[in-house]
Chains A and B, each alone.
Chain A
Amino acid sequence: MEGFNVITKKHFIVGGIFLILILLFLMPFYAKPYLVISLTNILMYIILTVSWVIFSGPTHYISLASAAFFGVGIYTSALLGKTLPLTVVVVTGGFASFILAFFIGLLTLRLRGMYFIIFTFSISELIRHSLLWWETNVTGTVGRWVVMVSHNTVYYIILTIFMITFIIAYIIRRSRVGLALRCIGEQEEAAIHIGINSTLIKTFTFAISALFMGSTGAIMATRWTYIDPRIAFDPHLSFMPVLMAIFGGTIHLYGPLLGATIFAYLEEILTTKFPYYYMLLFGAILIVVILFLPHGLFGMIQKRLKGGPK
């Protein structure tokens, strides 16, 4: 009679995840288009947050360059979308961001703390303003049209990117690279003295996280049909992943998932119901989280479940 106790908590979680995934995949068949579109939006934020956490979570290097990587994807889509098939465009967008992040990484990952934060933020602003200058003075036209794609196609591609991002994030976290990243975050000087090649590991992980941001940008661009540097490199998208990750908590991967979902949903509701106050409400919620939930929402849930800290 062994069969009775075999269904453990782990099986339950895996089963639950499967069920959710099936529901998500069938979504366009039973849900209203509006729901599919807003879910696409939520998934976009989740991908940005989870991929931000891949690098910044364990290392504590707070990157504010997400908008740059997202924007590079958007521009890739605008430039290549008319000539190449969609999947190729999405993959190219990802790799363009990967390469950009790799070079930014080599340049900036020697900086720490505040200097790194400011530098990454400036890089993304620099790209935005340079592009704007280029479009105004050299090409003479600001902004571009992007080829439109059906909502369902966008949804499926976003869902695929989300699954890949989450799986890669999970694998990195569990691997020796994940351990090395945590060592770097805890005490970088000691990390290099026990044989960790911190420059290589940081640069590579930073680039991996940018890969997902870039491909997300490439697919999201098709939804907006018109883009210009101000839309593509909107600093809002550099800050949101950070806030969502703090909100959800970064100790476990479910944290950013939960944080991004709730935050994105809140944004959806607040912008429609209270368009003038939504930033204010956001701020208030965030302050409460930072003050009372140091490990984020997921940290609190876990604490409740286990009845003790951590």
Chain B
Amino acid sequence: MPILEGKKVTKYFGGLAALYQVDFDINPGEVVGLIGPNGAGKTTLFNLISGFLPITAGEIRYKGKKINGLNPNQICRQGVARTFQSTKLFAGMTVFENVLAASLFGSKRTVSIPEAESETLELLEFVDLLSLRTMLAKDLPIAYQKRLEVARALATKPDLLMLDEVMAGLNPVEVVEAMGLVAKIRDRGITIFMIEHVMKAIMEVCDRIIVLHHGNKIAEGKPEDVANSPKVIEIYLGEQTHARSQ
């Protein structure tokens, strides 16, 4: 059974269909990439899954149970965590407090404060931010902020983690580090659904890729198949015939 499945997921903003009858499923343990040009509806899909936006039509199921209609905090407690395209940290709080809060509130059962504290330290170690734990989140460089957001999402003890462009704005060295982090998270048994523009990362890390364009799913498959698909090349680079005719 897929851990997450979407059936005819549709979202209208006024008259504009940001997503139109998108079907998808994600299996436990997979790393699935979500790509597409700007405005394709990728972040909208994440917002629907995390409950931040109400769905117009269709259904989203997590572990077989319908989750659309729930609030983001309920969905988080079921085990779905996410990061944001432009980081949304608790800027005036310390690195430690950012993760601590997620650890305290993010899971279904009640977590005691000492328990949350030790978990926070463990996660900060995991993302290599332990030495910066007393710094304010807003004072971190962007690459560290992105890692902190990942740690905060992990602190809610998810089974499914949605990463929205964690590698955007990173330099090549940092991208490699981030790829390593994604692999490490997968090794913890967490399923990953990630939006990414850095193709190198997508190709290497993902088991499967879903391509969105103008709110429709236009391709899906193994990374190399998707990369060679004429349809995908067309939407990213434009039609070949045009190039030749001009």
Contacts and interface: CB of A to CB of B under 8 A. Distances in A.
Chain A complexes with chain B:
yes
Interface of A: 176, 179-180, 182-183, 186-187, 189-198
Given A179-B101, A180-B105, A187-B89, A192 B84 contact: no
B107 interface: yes
A183 B156 contact: no
A191 B156 CA distance: 12
Interface in B75-105: 76-77, 81-82, 84, 88-93, 97, 100-102, 104-105
A182 B93 contact: yes
B50 interface: yes
A299 B107 CA distance: 36
A21 B102 CA distance: 39
A195 B92 contact: no
Given A179-B97, A183-B101, A193 B76 contact: yes
Interface string B41-58: 000000000101000000
Contact of B71 (A179, A180, A189, A192): A192
A251 to B, nearest CB: 10
A198 B72 CA distance: 10
Most buried by B among A183, A192, A194, A197: A194
Contacts of B81: 193-194
A196 B101 contact: yes
A192 B72 contact: yes
A34 to B, nearest CB: 44
Nearest to B152: A194
Interface of B: 50, 52, 71-73, 76-77, 81-82, 84, 88-93, 97, 100-102, 104-107, 113, 152-153, 155-156
A194 B88 contact: no
Given A192-B73, A194-B155, A182 B102 contact: no
A190 B105 contact: no
A186 B87 CA distance: 13
26 contacts: A176-B113, A179-B100, A179-B101, A179-B104, A180-B101, A180-B105, A182-B93, A183-B90, A183-B101, A186-B89, A186-B91, A186-B92, A187-B91, A189-B88, A191-B90, A192-B73, A193-B50, A193-B52, A193-B81, A193-B82, A194-B81, A194-B105, A194-B155, A194-B156, A195-B106, A196-B105
A190 B102 CA distance: 10
A60 B84 CA distance: 22
A193 to B, nearest CB: 5
A196 B72 CA distance: 9
B76 A194 contact: yes
Given A186-B91, A186-B92, A194 B100 contact: no
A196 B93 contact: no
B76 A195 contact: yes
Contacts of A183: 90, 93, 101
Given A176-B113, A189-B88, A190-B88, A195 B93 contact: no
Contacts of A176: 104-105, 113
B83 to A, nearest CB: 9
A121 to B, nearest CB: 26
Contacts of A194: 73, 76, 81, 101-102, 105-106, 152-153, 155-156
Contacts of B106: 194-195
B31 to A, nearest CB: 21
Given A179-B104, A183-B101, A195-B156, A190 B89 contact: yes
Given A179-B97, A186-B91, A193-B76, 20 more contacts: A176-B113, A179-B101, A179-B104, A186-B90, A187-B88, A189-B52, A189-B88, A192-B52, A193-B50, A193-B72, A193-B81, A193-B82, A194-B73, A194-B76, A194-B102, A194-B153, A194-B156, A195-B73, A195-B77, A196-B73
Nearest to A179: B101
B90 A187 contact: yes
B45 to A, nearest CB: 15
A182 B91 CA distance: 10
Given A180-B101, A196-B101, A190 B90 contact: yes
Contacts of B82: 193
A258 B221 CA distance: 65
Closest 10 CB pairs of A and B: A186-B90, A194-B102, A195-B106, A190-B88, A195-B105, A195-B76, A192-B72, A196-B105, A195-B77, A187-B88
Contacts of B89: 186-187, 190
Contacts of B101: 179-180, 183, 191, 194, 196
Contacts of A193: 50, 52, 72-73, 76, 81-82
